[in-house]
Structure formats: C-alpha cells, structure tokens
Chain A
Amino acid sequence: MRKAITVTVNGRACAREVPIRLLLVDFIRDGCGLTGTHVGCGHEGRCGACTVLIEGRAHKSCLTLAVQADGKEVTTIEGLGSRGLPHHLKRAFRRYHALQCGFCTSGILMNAVDFLDENINPDEEEVRRALIGNLCRCTGYSHIVEAILAASAMRHGLKPEPPPAETEPPP
C-alpha cells in the first residue's frame, strides 16, 4: 500500500509516493538523498544516530513512519547552519573535538538543538541526562558535554566564543 506525501525537509518540499511502511529515516536518506542522518541500532530507538527535528522537536526517525511526517517540517544535520556559516553547536563540536568517527554526531547535534532551545543555561548533569538517548562509542562523552555547555554559553553571550584553532601547524 502506498501513499503520496509531502514533507518539507530543510525548507524544501519533498513530494513522493511512498509505501506506508517506509521509515522516515529511509525517506530522508534514500528519498531525499540526505545521508547525514544515520542508523546504528535495529530501528529500536536506542542509538539516536537517526535523530532529526520534526516541527522543531527531536524525534528518532527510525521509529517514525514517513507518512507520519506528511505535511510537516523536518530538519536534518544538513539543514543546521551552512558550511559558510556553521551553526554554533557545530562550531563548538569542532573546537572541542566532540566527534571522532562522526557516525553518532548528527543525532547528537539534533537532540542538542532541541535541548538547548528548552534549557537556557544547563549544567553538566543536565546535559548528560539529555544525551541518554544517544550512544557514542568513540569519545567517552566528555568532549561532547563540554561542547554543548560551551555552545550554550556562547549563544547566550555568557562566554565569548574561542577563536578557532589552526588546522595547519606553523611553517
């Protein structure tokens, strides 16, 4: 059974006829060609790598059917800032080395966007609890927590943004 749906992904309307059993994560990755959203568990909502924003709130796109997003606004990692002007969370993640392999990163960023929208000046424990639905096997979480705290402080002007570190050593 199929159904015609229109989902606005990162501001662009994406109209497709889809099987009603199609998961939103597959619609985003295969239908829209946006592969920054990942799958790390057995579509059981455990790893959080597939987290996207639906109407501004974090959802696991492996637990959502594409037809459930019909008529809604979806934001993925690709829609968070731009390469020329990266989102403040992305700048903080880079600065604080909050990603290693990068596989879980998109889901963590999308969850953090939602979390920081609701929490103005969180402490470490609140950030750690907010990340309970996102697994990372590389970093041990410390740098992720530091980056989210720093992004929050920068955003609200509580702390100046550190200058970016160099990418090349001096000659």
Chain B
Amino acid sequence: MTAAGGEGWIDRSLERQEDDRLLAGDGEFLADLRVDGCLHLCFVRSDHAHARIRSVRTAAALAMPGVVAAVTGADLATEMEGGRLQAAPPAPAATRGQVWPLAVEEVCWHGEPVAAVVADDKYVAEDAAAAVAVDYEALPVVTDAEAALREGAPRAHDGWESNEVFAARCTGGADADAIAANDAEVEAAFAAAAVVLSQRFRARRSGAFPLETRGALALWSDEDGLTLRLATQHPHGARLALADLLGLPAAAVRIVAPRDQGGGFGATAPVCREHAVVCHLARRLGRPVRWIETRAEHLMAAGQGWDRVHDLDIAADREGRILALRDRGIADVGDGREDIRRGFVAPQLGSVMLPGAYAIAHADITLRCTVTNKASPGPSRPADAYPARFALERGLDMLARRLGLETAALKRRNLIADFPFTGVTGVRHDSGDYLKAWDTLLERVDLAGFRAMQADARAEGHYLGIGFACGAELSAIPPDMLPPRGERTDLPPGETAGLAHTAGVEAPKPAPCFTAHAATVEVDIETGRFIVLDYVTCEDVGTVIDPIVVEGEVQGAVVHGMSNAMFEELVYGEDGRHWAADLGRYPLASAADVPHVTVAFAPTPSPDHPPGVRALGQGRPGPVPGALANAICDALAPFGVEITTLPLRPEMILSLIEAGRAGNGGASRDIAVRRKA
C-alpha cells in the first residue's frame, strides 16, 4: 500500500466515496432495482451449434399460470420495424451479416437465443422457457477457424459464399506500390538475417467474465418512449443502436446505466440481441420487463475472445536484434453478425499491437477473420493483445534460446529507445523511457541472484524458472483506423449532454503506456503442474494520480490474465456444443491460486494528455500469458520445452516434458530455425 502524499489530487491515495454505500450493502446494481409490476424475461437458447429451425411451439409455456408472453424469431421479424442487427466491419468489408434478435429459420451457435418467455415471476419464467419446444434439423458444423477457411468447408451460415468475412493488412500503407515496396523490404531483411524463427502460436477462446452478468430493465411509456436501465459500458452507443432496431427516434430512447456495475472489462460494451428483445417486449406489453442473465448464458454468449492463430516469422541478427517480423493471423469471429465490436475490432487491434514496445523496422502483418459456429466474440481486456503478446514474447524467448542469449537482454536490446516513435503498424509512441522501466523491473527481480538459486534448486531436482514479457498498450484505436465518423456519433438536434459540470480535453493522439512483467514459477516435472512463486510488474502509466487505485487496477488485471492463461478455456465439442457453461468447468482463479502481485513504477508523463496521464488497466493482462509461459519454459529448459499454445494446462506441459525426455525437444518439432552459413 502506498501512503498518501503529493500535491492536490496527484500522487494521493484517497478513500473512495462509493465505498461507503457498497460496504453498507446499499450498492445499486441492475438486479437490485425494484420496479412495481415488473415482468421477468427468460431466453430459450439453441442447444445445437448449427441447425434449421423446423418449429418453435410456445403453447405449453403460454398456458402456464403467470406467463404473460412468449415470442419467437418469426414473431419479431413481423413485429419489429428495424429489427436486424448488422455487423459493419471496417473497410475493406467482405461480408456484412444481419441477424434478428431471436433466431429466424436457422441457429448458428450453441446458445443462440431462439425464443423469449415473459412471466410475472422469475421462477415461473424459467419453467416456461423449459416448456418451449423447438424442433431442429441439424446442419453441418464448423468450429475451427482454419477448418472454416479450407476449400469446401461447411458454411457457418447456410448459403453464404465463404466463411471468410474480413481480411486486413496492417503494414505497408494503403496503396499497392507502397505495399509492394514494404514486402520487398521485409523479404530482403529475412534474406539477410542470421536467424529466422518460424512458429505457430495458438490461443484458445476465453475472455472477460465479470462477476455481474449482463442485464436490462426496460420501461415503456406511450408519451416518453423507452427508458432502458442497462448494465453497460457504452450507453450512447446502445441508445443509437436500439433506436434503429426498434424503429424509434433517438430522442425517444433513454439509456440509464445503474449507479453501480459489477465489473465489465469489455463484456458489457456492445449492444446485444438480448437488449433489443427486452425493449421490444416492454413496448409491446406496456409493462416493465427485466432480464438478468444467468452465468450459463454469460459464459455461452458474452465477452469471449482471443480465439486466434499467429503464424509468426522473426528475422534477427546474431545479437538478437529483430530485423523483420512477418505474421499471418487468423481470428475466429464466431457468428460474426452482431455489433462491430463483437468480432472485427479486437482482432485488428491485436494485429496492430503485435509489435508492442519493440522497435521493429520492417514487418508484414496480415489478418483473416472467419465466421464459425460459435458465439460472436466481444470486447474483453486486453482485446487480442492477449494472443499477440503471447506469440511475440514466446517467439523472442525461443529466439534467445537458439542464440544462447539471456532473454531479458535480448528483449531490452529491442525495446523502443528513441521517442516519439511511430511503429510499422502506425502506432505512435509519444514519449517514455521503456528502458528505465525495464531496468527497474530487472533490479526488482535480481536476475543474477535468481540464476544462482535456480542452479542450486535444479541440482536438488526442483525446477524454477523466470519469464519476462512487456507491452505498450493503447487506450484507444488510432483515429485514422476508424471508419469515417458520420453524424450518428453526435447528440440529436436540440439535445445537450445534461450534465451539471463538464470539462474535457480532446486527446489528439493515443498515449501508450508501458508495462514490463516478470514471473517466477516452480514446475513439478512429474505432473506438469506449476505454481507462480512471484510476480512483479513495472509500470509507466504516466503521472500517477492515485497510487493505491493504480496498484489495485494493475494487480486485478494481472490476476485476470493469470486466470485466463492458467485455467480458462471455452471448450467446444466436435458438434460445436459448448462444454464450459458453468464456473465448475470454466474456473476463475481464486486467491489461493495466485501470488501477491508487486507493482513498481517508472513513470514518464505524457505530453499529450494533461496532467501527463497514460492509459491503465485495459492492456495489463496482455503480457501475462507470455511471462508465465516463458517462466515455465525457462524452468524446463533442460527438457527443451517450448510452449506454443494457451491455456497452460498441466497435461500439455507434462506432454512437452515427456517429449523432451524422449529426446524430441518438447514442442521444437514444429520449429524451423535457419542459421545462415
């Protein structure tokens, strides 16, 4: 804990005003709101990953006492004016899917909403939802992104020409000549390199999963229109999108976010199909309607991400300086027909952020997005920096091992040192001292002392390892990456923000923050299990306003990343059925699973963002899987173990140890290292 100090608001740990009510039990989360006469909505969800809907029978549900309404996708298609959500991928768009809030004719993922039942009691609503009978005709399923891109693959959406919906090139500029020149430079750098490391890295789907699930409470008035109490990180976007879907002027839609929200981490940012159904039924019935998502629904439908392949090539000289980078990314965007942020933005951000804090002069980075029969991913911190950081940080460790260099030294050699620096993907690093932060981290962990202890421990049969990773994370997408801004983002004519006091600065440029991580682990070579002994980060978040809040934010984000990397995977069967829709099969890290996270600071104020602040929070889980995996591989270096997939399951680690013992060098069968004569 940091003691209070400093001038005014800066560098001062103040007690939070909201803690009073939260600790008294007087928080006001969405499910805590009480509205007289409120009805409860429960969704019926598909139990097939891909099927044609032959019929949806609601008569039995409607006959139950207390049931007020039951609707299907076919009902909505006739009742709703706007109705369909549309994914608008950033240019160049390939496919723009549309989807009704409830499935019509076809379900495309296990858990897709098919019908909704409204009753005066939530227990009755659940009973009634179970009484809705849906008759399905199974269709071919595709759940793997690479399989979806193959010639002749089953289509995730019946009748679509292709599963590939979006492709992007993140380097080399916009016109063909510039791209050709860039590719030639990258080719030349690879041809001249002393070492080329080529490796595939794979992250499996996990995500945000806050403690509070999604929810909505809609009130309709013929005079005033719709008031939606919504657990949301993005009320303005919800207002405009729902106005469209419901065929209402924006002025007739009010979104009120509850005073308290139980986390979010991205999961509650998008507009979702469920919200539109809740609003539509409140309007149709003229009564308040509430939906509180169950944990099973949340795990099936919300805040998922990072389902990603990186085929990475790194060209380097003998000292480990990166000469060029090539990345062929494939992102699984699941259903892919919902809100723009549910699919395209996060994968693109992952590709753009791939170089991170490293000064990489030449790169060729591309991305392909494909639909599959899984839920649309949503925003979840740190977006696709999670698989990207894992890929590059692991790749650099593998490179260091091939070159016989200490990984911490190789990484330091490649960090951006001169500012401002504009990277190969257009990310501008305004200012900073990444070397100072890196060196501060190294002082904290005492690498030389650790190496001595590691050697002693190994002599006694204990496998300790240390791993490093870092990231320079953005708080926002660079403005020039966004689709053209239309007038839709402005307030309707005659409306004001309605706030008593407003003040703001227009941040002209994103100010990346730098975070460097070191993990220490011990691995049990008989079981593949590991424990995290120690975890240290060094942060450049610019000017630190409230140290204890910053520390808590970093600790929370790091443990979020540990939980994702160590325990979490949304497992799907070959038939596309979701196998992990409860917290028993999708465990989150508890206090006993993780160590104390030590947070050190090496701040450099940003010149662009008064009072010198930088982004915080969103990016912090990014380097965690790389740091942990690197520590495990360092511990298991005698077996030549090289981890290339997430999550870090003991059985995966054990199989690599066994391969190493059998003389196959862990995962290195997949590694092609080319040394020039």
Note whether A and B form a binding pair.
Answer: yes
> Which residues from chain A sit less than 8 Å from chain B, CB to CB?
19, 21-22, 29, 33-42, 44, 46-47, 49, 76-78, 83, 86, 90, 93-97, 99-106, 109, 124, 127-129, 131-146, 164-170
Instruction: Tell me the minimal C-beta distance from A124 to chain B in angstroms.
Output: 7
For residue A82, which residue of chain B has the nearest CB? B24
| B 1-18 contacts with A by CB, 8 A | 1, 4, 8-9, 12-18
Contact indicator A129/B26 (Cβ below 8 Å): no
> Which residues from chain B sit less than 8 Å from chain A, CB to CB?
1, 4, 8-9, 12-20, 22-27, 29, 31-32, 34, 123, 209-213, 260-263, 265, 294-296, 548-549, 551-560, 582-584, 587-588, 590-592, 594, 596-597
Contact indicator A144/B556 (Cβ below 8 Å): no
Q: Contact check: which of B1, B23, B587 meets A93 at CB < 8 Å?
A: B23
Instruction: Tell me the minimal C-beta distance from A35 to chain B in angstroms.
Output: 4
Contacting residues, chain B, for A134 (C-beta < 8 A): 590-591
For residue B265, which residue of chain A has the nearest CB? A137
* Cα-based distance from A49 to B26 in the complex (angstroms): 15
* Cα-based distance from A76 to B212 in the complex (angstroms): 19
* Cα-based distance from A139 to B32 in the complex (angstroms): 23
Contacting residues, chain B, for A19 (C-beta < 8 A): 123
- Which of A37, A76, A96, A128 counts the most chain B CB atoms within 10 A? A128
Contact indicator B552/A102 (Cβ below 8 Å): no
Contact indicator A47/B597 (Cβ below 8 Å): no
Contact indicator A101/B552 (Cβ below 8 Å): no
Q: What are 30 residue pairs bridging A and B, where the CB atoms are less than 8 Å apart in the complex?
A: A29-B31, A37-B25, A38-B211, A38-B262, A42-B296, A44-B295, A44-B583, A78-B24, A86-B24, A90-B23, A96-B548, A97-B549, A97-B552, A99-B19, A100-B556, A101-B211, A101-B212, A101-B260, A102-B23, A103-B211, A131-B590, A135-B211, A135-B588, A137-B560, A139-B552, A140-B555, A166-B15, A167-B14, A167-B16, A167-B17
Q: A19-B123, A36-B27, A137-B588 are in contact. Are A102 and B555 (CB under 8 A)?
A: no
Q: Contact check: which of B9, B16, B123 meets A169 at CB < 8 Å?
A: B9
A-B pairs with CB below 8 Å: how many?
A: 198
Contact indicator B23/A143 (Cβ below 8 Å): no
Q: Contact check: which of B19, B25, B34 meets A76 at CB < 8 Å?
A: B25
Contacting residues, chain B, for A77 (C-beta < 8 A): 23-25
Instruction: Tell me the minimal C-beta distance from A98 to chain B in angstroms.
Output: 8
Q: A94-B15, A140-B552, A140-B558 are in contact. Are A46 and B584 (CB under 8 A)?
A: yes
Instruction: Tell me the minimal C-beta distance from A64 to chain B in angstroms.
Output: 16
* Cα-based distance from A100 to B261 in the complex (angstroms): 10
Contacting residues, chain B, for A29 (C-beta < 8 A): 31-32
* Cα-based distance from A44 to B515 in the complex (angstroms): 37
Contacting residues, chain B, for A97 (C-beta < 8 A): 1, 13, 16, 548-549, 551-552
Q: Contact check: which of B23, B123, B260, B583 meets A41 at CB < 8 Å?
A: B583
Q: Contact check: which of A124, A132, A137 meets B556 at CB < 8 Å?
A: A137
